[in-house]
Chains A and B, each alone.
Chain A
Amino acid sequence: MTAESTNSGTSLYKTDARTKRRNASEARFRIYGMAAVGFGVLALIVLLTSVLGTGLGAFRQTFLTMPVALDAATLDKKGNRDPAEMAKVTTIGYQKILEKALIAELTEQKLIPEGMSAKDVGGLISKEAPAQLRNKVLANPELVGQTITFRALANGRIDGYFKGRVTMESAALDSNVSPAQLELADKMRAANLLGLSFNWGFIFDPDASELRPEAAGLGVAILGSLYMMIIVLVLSLPLGVAASIYLEEFAPTNRWTDLIEVNIANLAAVPSIVFGILGLAVFINFANMPQSSPLVGGLVLTLMTLPTIIIATRAALKAVPPSIKDAALGVGASKTQTVFHHVLPLAMPGILTGTIIGLAQALGETAPLLLIGMVAFVRDYPGAPPEGFLDPASALPVQVYNFTQRADPAFIERASGAIIVLLVFLLTMNILAIILRRRFERRW
């Protein structure tokens, strides 16, 4: 036989040509594998650095700091410090005051360039700053007549200049900002009138209009997401646990149970946007619940999260060894007592871990929320629960989407910043889940 002769009688010390070829192909295969893993890891790193790189800027903002004289004659004509009366002075009045204060400060420091109009100097201040000053005064009418140190948001273009988004060249072509304004900003920075500092407003303030990227914040979105998470937690945890207990411990094996199981497996893989359509058709059009409300968002996300929680809970219940059940049944406990006194507490860490992971998924979900009206521009914080669940609100991931739909490139920075906030929440939740698992995990 030919085969016999090929094999025997050769020395093991000599690698034959065919084995060399095979080893080369082995090495190639291994490199493909390494390349694939490398590609995945690299993609993650590029993704994170790209988001972090563009988004970190959103947490620092350019502010102008200056003394502002709150002139009683313009702000409170009657002089009775009644906020209702004072509310009649609109933001335009406050804008004038701010402009005047800035020019006064700059004149004193001899910084105003030749021939720059008062309007151009005032253009350094954000359009949002007068409204903020107005709110501050209305909240504390006693400030009127005093001179306070006010930290005003700088215009988005000025902010962009310090973050490298706006250059002298681009400013020359831009109708919203001029190179002269940028030079002034440079001088003011040198004189410590203007500078970047941590931007709490980005986290706590509501969204702002298309023209005021510098004032846009995530306050309403974070609150809206929080409300939805509360609803999801309150509804999906008990429902999911109850459904799992039934399926795992009580359900007879029959067609109906089978149907439920197949259903759950399929629901877990239904595209999220279909849940959005469900929410729109059932909750909003049929049941007339208010659009953009955290209630509808929470309900839709609950339905989406349920399969995840059910699958995790059933795995946790299954992991409790039957010997424990037998022991409880053996001392005369009823089936229900056995489940609720013994199985459920032992499965709880697993259930909670699954729930947190489900919540994290729900927190990042965007598409279904677009369909139930959460894209709406919402500036007012929703009220306190439970009525606040019906108020219009935004959600973190939807806010990211909203930012990306706006023309000003400053919003890209905001969108990435919002994603950082979102990722921080997700990371916290996942770490919590890992800690829970580590702490309470039991090996039987």
Chain B
Amino acid sequence: MSLGILSLIVAALAAAGFFLGRRFALAKVAGDARRLHSLPGYYGQTVFLFTAVPAFLVLGLWLLIQPIVIENRVAGTIAPADIPEGSSVGLVMSDVRRIADGIERVVSEGRMTEPELAAHDDIRGELASAGVALGNDVRPSVVEAARNYRDLSPASSLAMSGLVLALALAGMAFALRRISPDFRARNVSETFVRYLLIAASTVAILTTVGIVLSLVFETVHFFRLYSADKFFFNTVWNPQFRGGSDLGIWPLLWGTMYVSLIALLVSVPVGIFAAIYLAEYASKRVRAVAKPMIEILAGIPTIVYGLFALITVGPMLRDFFAQPMGIGSSSSSVMTAGLVMGIMLIPFVSSLSDDIINAVPQSLRDGSYGLGATQSETVKQVILPAALPGIVGAILLAASRAIGETMIVVLGAGAAAKMSLNPFDAMTTVTVKIVSQLTGDTEFASPETLVAFALGLTLFVFTLGLNVLALYIVRKYREQYE
């Protein structure tokens, strides 16, 4: 039974449960709703909730767990002797999945039945003709495992459908049986709803836990294959797919910091001055036009900035600055990425600063003007010092954005991991390497792939630190004027 139909049936059952529950409740009091504890709709609602929620919960869980269970059971049937030298269960399992997929195609094209194919001499050739290429010859036990895998999936789906439907019906029966005029249906369904709300609010926590666990787990895995010392203290980044890679984080950190620094050098002065101008000087009309225009910059996806760096800014910097000055010939460079990222960050700095400058009480401005200060003196000596903590918070948030930004550096900074001072050199960053190590068909258990998780963890820790600090500073600042 397909997932869609199953969900529809459960939904239909729940809807039917609602009307049944309502009618049941009314029938118990011979149609006189006043004798019920709650409004009739609430009786329906309890039936609805008890029918739908457990069933869908189990459905979701099953879908999540089913592949893992099947995987384990099939992996258990592969004898250790069938795992080739230098390979692993994981690799054999990926063969198993591909063979199962191939069998499915051959069978569905109607060329052979499954037992015929299993008995065939040249399974590999047969599967290749169906578009599934296998690296080495197929051992019988692996084919057996693949057939097993294929059999288990529908069996499991059937079991799932049965269980889900049974649960839905059981929930409905349970809820219907509880209905009586004294049943506190409203309280029950409200409590139920409240638990649902609580569950929804824990998603945020689960996400964080998921991020931390997946990063830490794979990073530990990585450090088992590659020493942490070398990762943190080696200054060479040179992954080799035949092993013996140098995976030092320093060149990547250097590139990240250099690009972020340039981005901040662009965005902080421009952002703060723009915020000051819009908050203190601009006429209403200028503000009404310029403020949204600058804020549009924040709504443009980063891939657009990436393309802008690639096709416009990079070549322009190369042709007008780097080449005439003889200091670089690459259109991707730290400067390109930093400049474009700086443009992207202008609105982050300016709109946060704008809010913060506007939060400085008017009485302070009056005090300063009353003493005969000019507007710029007031801004520089009264407003900025008063708003400073908030602006520092805004800058920290912008820095965290810069460090975690991916698409602009992927398209604008280059891929060469080196530590150079020349801003017109192509360099690379932590995020670029996460992308390049995790895209493409690489072996998942190799240090070259797993290093991406260690890089991700480093990135996460850095940005988390900056964010917490920034939020703390901004919060403290807000309290000051509340």
Contacts and interface: CB of A to CB of B under 8 A. Distances in A.
B67 interface: yes
Interface in B259-318: 269-274, 276-278, 280-282, 286, 290, 293-294, 296-297, 299-308, 310-312
Interface stretch (A92-100, A126-134, A166-174, A285-293): A285-293
Given A271-B404, A277-B456, A400-B303, A243 B201 contact: yes
A387 B2 CA distance: 8
Interface string A378-407: 000000011100000000010011001000
A47 B270 contact: no
B463 interface: yes
A113 interface: no
Contacts of B456: 273-274, 277
A271 B403 contact: yes
A247 to B, nearest CB: 6
A336 B190 contact: yes
Contact of B274 (A33, A247, A265): A33
Nearest to B406: A367
B200 A243 contact: yes
Contact of B194 (A250, A285, A397): A250
Nearest to B269: A36
Given A287-B64, A367-B407, A267 B307 contact: no
A304 to B, nearest CB: 9
Given A50-B312, A423-B304, A242 B201 contact: yes
Contacts of A307: 204
B431 A41 contact: no
Which of A32, A47, A266, A430 has most B Cβ within 10 Å?
A: A47
Given A30-B281, A33-B276, A51-B307, A40 B300 contact: no
A25 interface: yes
Most buried by A among B200, B297, B471: B200
Contacts of B303: 364, 366, 397, 400-401, 419, 422
Interface in B72-93: none
Contact of A273 (B296, B406, B444): B406
Contacts of B2: 386-387
A246 interface: yes
B407 A401 contact: yes
B240 interface: no
Contact of B460 (A265, A270, A416): A270
Interface stretch (B49-57, B374-382, B417-425): B374-382
A36 B297 CA distance: 14
A417 B7 CA distance: 39
B208 interface: yes
B374 A266 contact: no
Interface stretch (B132-140, B211-219, B242-250): B211-219
A124 interface: no
A94 B307 CA distance: 37
B1 interface: no
Contacts of A319: none
A125 B231 CA distance: 53
A203 B406 CA distance: 27
Contact of B277 (A30, A243, A286): A30
A334 B186 contact: yes
B25 interface: no
Contacts of A54: 311
A360 interface: yes
Interface residues of A, number: 90
B258 interface: no
Interface string A22-37: 1101100110111111
* Interface residues of A, dominant DSSP: helix
Interface in B1-18: 2-4, 7
Contacts of A148: none
A94 B218 CA distance: 52
B218 A281 contact: yes
B294 A37 contact: yes
Nearest to B218: A281
Nearest to A340: B193
Interface in B190-235: 190, 193-194, 196-205, 207-208, 210-211, 214-215, 217-218
Interface stretch (A114-122, A150-158, A191-199, A256-264): A256-264
Contact of B307 (A246, A400, A430): A400
A272 B296 contact: no
Contact of B197 (A51, A246, A272, A365): A246
Nearest to A288: B67
B351 to A, nearest CB: 11
B215 A277 contact: yes
Nearest to A364: B301
Interface stretch (B113-121, B175-183, B359-367, B434-442): B434-442
Contact of B406 (A35, A247, A260, A272): A272
Contacts of B276: 33
Contacts of B460: 270-271, 274
A36 B270 contact: yes
B204 A282 contact: no
B387 interface: no
Contacts of A280: 438
A37 B407 contact: no
B200 to A, nearest CB: 3
Contacts of B379: 29
Given A30-B277, A274-B456, A287-B68, A269 B377 contact: no
Nearest to B205: A263
Contact of A36 (B196, B273, B308, B404): B273
A270 B464 contact: yes
B453 interface: yes
A46 interface: yes
A336 B193 contact: yes
Contacts of B294: 37, 40-41, 44
Interface string B439-482: 10000100000001100100110011001100100000000000
Contact of A397 (B199, B301, B312): B301
Given A41-B290, A243-B200, A426 B274 contact: no
A430 B298 CA distance: 13
Given A30-B376, A277-B456, A423-B304, A386 B3 contact: yes
Contacts of A363: 301
A198 B205 CA distance: 49
B400 interface: yes
A272 B404 contact: yes
Given A44-B297, A274-B456, A277-B453, A306 B207 contact: yes
B467 A288 contact: no
A40 B203 contact: no
Contacts of A264: 204
B343 interface: yes
B103 interface: no
A9 B304 CA distance: 63
A69 B1 CA distance: 48
Contacts of B47: none
A100 to B, nearest CB: 32
18 contacts: A22-B377, A32-B273, A36-B271, A40-B347, A51-B308, A240-B200, A250-B197, A269-B467, A273-B404, A273-B459, A274-B211, A278-B211, A386-B3, A387-B2, A400-B307, A401-B411, A404-B307, A430-B299
Given A270-B460, A364-B302, A401-B411, 11 more contacts: A33-B281, A39-B274, A242-B201, A277-B434, A277-B452, A288-B67, A288-B71, A289-B67, A306-B203, A366-B303, A426-B299
Interface of B: 2-4, 7, 64, 67-68, 71, 186, 190, 193-194, 196-205, 207-208, 210-211, 214-215, 217-218, 269-274, 276-278, 280-282, 286, 290, 293-294, 296-297, 299-308, 310-312, 343, 346-347, 350, 374-377, 379-380, 397, 400-401, 403-407, 410-411, 431, 434-435, 438-439, 444, 452-453, 456, 459-460, 463-464, 467-468, 471
Q: Which 6 A/B pairs are nearest by Cβ-Cβ distance?
A: A271-B404, A364-B301, A33-B277, A281-B214, A36-B273, A242-B200
